[in-house]
Amino acid sequence: MDHQENNERALHLLQTVFGYPAFRGQQAEIVGHVSGGGDALVLMPTGGGKSLCYQIPALVRDGVGVVVSPLIALMQDQVDALAEVGVRAAFLNSTQTYEEASRIERQVRMGEIDLVYVAPERLMTERCLNLFQASKIALFAIDEAHCVSQWGHDFRPEYIKLSVLHEQFPNVPRIALTATADPQTRAEIIHRLQLGDAMQFVSSFDRPNIRYQIVEKANGRKQLLDFITTEHGGDCGIVYCLSRKKVEETAEFLNENGVRAMAYHAGMDHAKRAANQAKFLREENIVMCATIAFGMGIDKPNVRFVCHLDLPKSIEGYYQETGRAGRDGEPSSAWMAYGLQDVVLQRRMIDESEADETFKRVLGNKLDAMLGLCETLSCRRVRLLDYFGEASGPCGNCDTCLIPPVSFDGTVPVQKLLSAVYRVDQRFAAGHVIEVLRGVETDRIKTWHHDSLSVFGIGADRSEQEWRAILRQVIALGLVTVDHEQYSSLKLTDAARPVLKGGQKVQLRQYQKPVKQKSPSRASKGYVESDLSPREQAIFDKLRWWRVETARAHDVAAYIIFNDATLREIAKARPTTLSDLRGISGVGEKKLASYGDEIVAMISEME
């Protein structure tokens, strides 16, 4: 098949199988390159349509497409979604019986399936490699390719061995895909997977539909509840916490306060964890409280918000996690509560890790970049995209754009703080130093005679919260460190000297008292869509009810039947014949045959 025929066949498959009228962004170029036998590295944000970049070339080319994915728990949903559009797909992983695996291996050998999903550790077995050697392979797709990076936020040692694909299958095209990779991680993917000759396709990292918001942490759980109830009542979302205990406590707190929440972390019973994940994928209005063990590969398109109750370790982690919101392109939120304790805790985790000094330095740099995003006085999106090497202008859709923070010359209060740290001999933790500054006469302060110091009470004009905000920024700026071997005592760095001596000014963010939002935003109106007329809204509601029932009958996630964007288009078009329904985005031939008559009948009844 020549290049032109390849492209025509790819577009035909996109329209008839997947039901989309045209490729988006770089999809057409990637599909054309891989269908023609070329290797590719694809960086595309979550929700950008990465999977089509390997699914369509696998259908265009002869043989079976092999998808390497670390997500055993989600392979079933991916296979279900392909079955719904009429693509023959299967997976090979440890959840199957010997008989099931043998049946699928036979189908691979006979070329009776189009795509097979396999975990990297399964791929590395002699049995699996022999199977692929004996079969006609269309391509290898390496999903979540950032897992190969030892410097990255989600390293998986089994990914390192995937260079075997280049060595054993030199004539089979390979496509590596990820939503998250800074230039260093990108270089490592190319090196580890031997993709030196691959074409690189780097899409914009921007997710304009996500609103970024980072607030001063006062009472994190209470602030979270206020945020969910005022902005996202009845919506589906994810809340990330650092510890398993906090995950469970947060889920319990939300449930007690009328928000339907579930927990997910690696310490839970496997069956319970899998059941919670399945419930989250298949039902609506659930908030999943989780550690970062949850989320990679979550394809649910209508996650309306992702919240962080603890500071992520890196911008890559933050970007990957917040990227699970709004995959359908609809307005969504990324909200985080962040405080001094987060900074101290993350620094301690790095200091106490058993990594070598080079790796600790890398982790420290990543944390510094994350702190810079939290403390920035300018647009958060500009800062976020800049980290990935992408230039942009103010977005108008983050908290610092919508309510610009007030900056002030913080040189004098910072000098007071640094002096207090110095006067208590750099031997005391944050709480004690702040009490000295504010002139609080505690027994501990009297015992150490710190009430007689020249710095005692020189910061009495500011509240404890204001001093915590200043200290947090001072730590983020690298003027003070926390010594975890000495009871979290504060110590001055060399960078503090010029500030203390008056040779360097310091700009700070003005502390803003956390305020409870009073007016619900557009997002809190549940599923009432502002661009639908009352009649269209009634159809949309009925379609969503029908989708839940149909998904339950088919034992698949609701979005696998149709996503909200497709239902919205159907509600607006009000099709009364099958030909009216054909051509609506997301309605391919198989879905038209499966559900067309029901949908048309339902709408005709309502007209």
Q: Is the pLDDT of residue 226 over 90?
A: yes
Total residues belonging to the chain: 607
> Which span out of 59-68, 314-323, 438-447, 497-506 was modeled with the highest average pLDDT?
59-68
N-term to C-term CA, the chain: 47
What would the pLDDT profile of 91-109 be if each residue is shown by its tens digit?
998 888 899 999 999 999 9
Q: Which residues of 504-541 are buried (b: 16+ CB within 10 A; e: fewer)?
A: eebebbebeeeeeeeeeeebbeeeebeebeeebbebbb
Assign domain 407-509 to a CATH class.
mainly alpha
- The pLDDT of 267-277, averaged and rounded, is 90
Stretch among 261-270, 394-403, 547-556 having the lowest mean pLDDT: 547-556
Angle at 83 between CA 70 and CA 301, to 5 degrees: 60
- The pLDDT of 190-210, averaged and rounded, is 92
Q: In whole angstroms, what is the distance from residue 506 CA to residue 377 CA? A: 13
Q: Which residue type occupies 381?
A: R
151 or 441, which is more confident: 441
Fold of 210-402: Rossmann fold (3.40.50)
Q: Is the pLDDT of residue 391 over 80?
A: yes
Fold of 527-606: DNA polymerase; domain 1 (1.10.150)
Q: Provide the greatest CA pair distance for the chain.
A: 87
- The pLDDT of 42-66, averaged and rounded, is 92
What is the pTM (predicted TM-score) of this model? 0.82
Q: In whole angstroms, what is the distance from residue 387 CA to residue 394 CA? A: 15
Angle, nearest 10°, between helix axes 270-282 and 72-84?
Answer: 30
Pick from 361, 359, 399: nearest CA to 379: 399
Using 50, 70 and 90 to split pLDDT, how confident is the model at 183?
Answer: confident
Q: In whole angstroms, what is the distance from residue 588 CA to residue 17 CA? A: 5
For the chain, percent of residues with pLDDT exceeding 70: 95
Stretch among 287-301, 383-397, 567-581 having the lowest mean pLDDT: 287-301
* pLDDT at position 519: 44
- The pLDDT of 65-84, averaged and rounded, is 87
Residue 328 Cα distances to 36, 509, 564, angstroms: 30, 34, 8
529 or 29, which is more confident: 29
Helix/strand/coil (H/E/C) assignment for every residue in 443-476: HHHHHCCHHHCCCCCCCCCCCHHHHHHHHHHHHH
- The average confidence (pLDDT) of the chain is 89
Q: Where are the chain's structural domains?
A: 3-202, 210-402, 407-509, 527-606
CB atoms within 10 A of CB 358: 9
- The pLDDT of 122-145, averaged and rounded, is 94
CATH number of 3-202: 3.40.50.300
* pLDDT at position 347: 83
Residue 84 Cα distances to 272, 548, 551, 560, angstroms: 27, 15, 11, 7
- The pLDDT of 272-295, averaged and rounded, is 89
What would the pLDDT profile of 581-590 be if each residue is shown by its tens digit?
988 999 999 9
Which DSSP state fits 158?
Answer: G
Q: In whole angstroms, what is the distance from residue 83 CA to residue 552 CA? A: 16
Using 50, 70 and 90 to split pLDDT, how confident is the model at 206?
Answer: very high
CB atoms within 10 A of CB 35: 24
CB atoms within 10 A of CB 287: 25
Q: Is the pLDDT of residue 517 over 70?
A: no
One fold for both 3-202 and 210-402? yes
